[in-house]
Amino acid sequence: MNSLQMSITIGWLYPKLMSTYGDRGNVITIQRRAQWRGYEVTVLPLDQNSTADDIKSVDVIVGGGAQDRQQEIVMRDLQGTKAEAMRNKIENGTPGVFTCGSPQLLGNYYEPGFGQRIEGLGILDLVSIHPGENTQRCIGNLVIEVTASRLAEELTAMLGTKPYLVGFENHGGRTKLGTVEPLGKVVYGLGNNGEDGTEGAFYRNAIATYSHGPLLPKNPFVADWLIQTALRCKYQQEITLTSLDDTLATQGREAMLKKLKVSLPNVVSTKV
């Protein structure tokens, strides 16, 4: 089967409620980079009008950030068969990228600065607690080295060099990981909690991160990993993506690293 006969469906979690700080850019990046290679792409919003079958039908999942109030609305909707469908998708290896408020929902619980604890789906073994409105938010540029072992290995194979991600964080909640593996270690910024040097989480093929930016246009090789993983899972065959010209994205990353005075052993360029 060639790329012209293959398709992917991107499931976009609650686009109207969960897309702060331009996180919809992650959806657009996956969509365009797959289309440029000749794959047919459908974007399916997964929201209050969707069913568990809609969730079951997607090949890659994108969840953005949200304010505390919106997170509560989403968690009220994401119950029963829908919650079960999400759990099964992630457990079965459907790839996804979940930013900020989304990982908080996939975790065990999120405690807002005031008000009731919001129970999470318990898919990622982590908890998030907002220490209160008088505590400083974690805001600013973020650079991490991906250390989650399988992901780091696969990205290194794609790039020919260690994978670093450049992003921007803006969160009040502090996340503490349980048994789940961190996505990476903080090189610049605060990450999960500003204390233990971890950033995000990686479970099965789900990438959880505090990096907005949005993440994928700044780090397009992660979008390619998601596309490649989605196609491999769906078609059960080896998929190698053709390379794209990412000169501008690479220059953007280099400019940010220079501005932050972060010098990495090898600044990554995108080549699949």
Q: Which of 131/160 has CB closer to ligand GLN?
A: 131
**Binding mask of the shown chain, residues 123 to 162, with x at each position contacting ligand GLN by CB under 6 A:** -------x--------------------------------
- Cβ distance 205 to 171 under 8 Å? no
What's the N-to-C CA distance of the chain in angstroms?
Answer: 20
Q: Which of 17, 78, 100, 223 binds ligand GLN (CB under 6 A)?
A: 100
The catalytic residue positions are: 100, 212
Contact present, 252 and 260 (Cβ < 8 Å): no
**Range list of H helices, the chain:** 24-36, 52-56, 68-77, 80-91, 101-106, 149-159, 215-218, 220-235, 247-259
CB of 270 to ligand GLN, least distance (A): 26
Q: According to CB under 6 A, which residues from 29 to 58 bind ligand GLN?
A: none
For 106, residues 6+ apart whose C-beta sits below 8 A from its C-beta are 63, 90, 98, 120, 121, 123, 124, 206, 208
Both tokens of 200, joined, read: 């995000």
Cis peptide leading into residue 214 (ω within 30°): yes
CB of 76 to ligand GLN, least distance (A): 15
Any contact of residue 67 with ligand GLN (CB under 6 A)?
yes
Binding footprint of ligand GLN, residue count (CB under 6 A): 14
| Residue 49 CB, nearest approach to ligand GLN (Å) | 22
Using CB under 6 A as the binding rule, whether residue 65 contacts ligand GLN is answered as yes
Identify the residue among 68, 111, 181, 224 touching ligand GLN (CB under 6 A).
68
What residues pair up with 261 in beta bridges, in sequence order?
none
In this complex, which beta carbon is closest to ligand GLN, that of residue 68 or of residue 181? 68
| Least spacing, CB of residue 38 vs ligand GLN, in Å | 34
Distance between CA atoms of 186 and 115, rounded to whole angstroms?
30
Q: What is the contact mask toward ligand GLN in residues 163 to 202, using x (rule: CB under 6 A)?
A: -------xxxx-----------------------------
72 touching ligand GLN, by CB under 6 A? no
Decide: is 215 part of the binding site for ligand GLN (CB under 6 A): no
Q: Does 101 bind ligand GLN (CB under 6 A)?
A: yes
Q: Which stretch binds ligand GLN (CB under 6 A): 24-32, 43-51, 67-75, 141-149?
A: 67-75
Taking the complex as a whole, the smallest distance from the CB of residue 245 to ligand GLN amounts, in Å, to 31
52-81 residues labelled b (16+ CB within 10 A) or e (exposed): eebbbbbbbbbbbbbebebbbbbbebbeee
The full DSSP string for 13-62 is E-TTTS-GGGTHHHHHHHHHHHHHTT-EEEEEEESTT--HHHHHT-SEEE
CA Rg, the chain, in Å? 17
Structure tokens that stand for 82 in this block: 């829908």
Residues that bind ligand GLN (CB under 6 A): 20, 65-68, 71, 100-101, 104, 130, 170-173
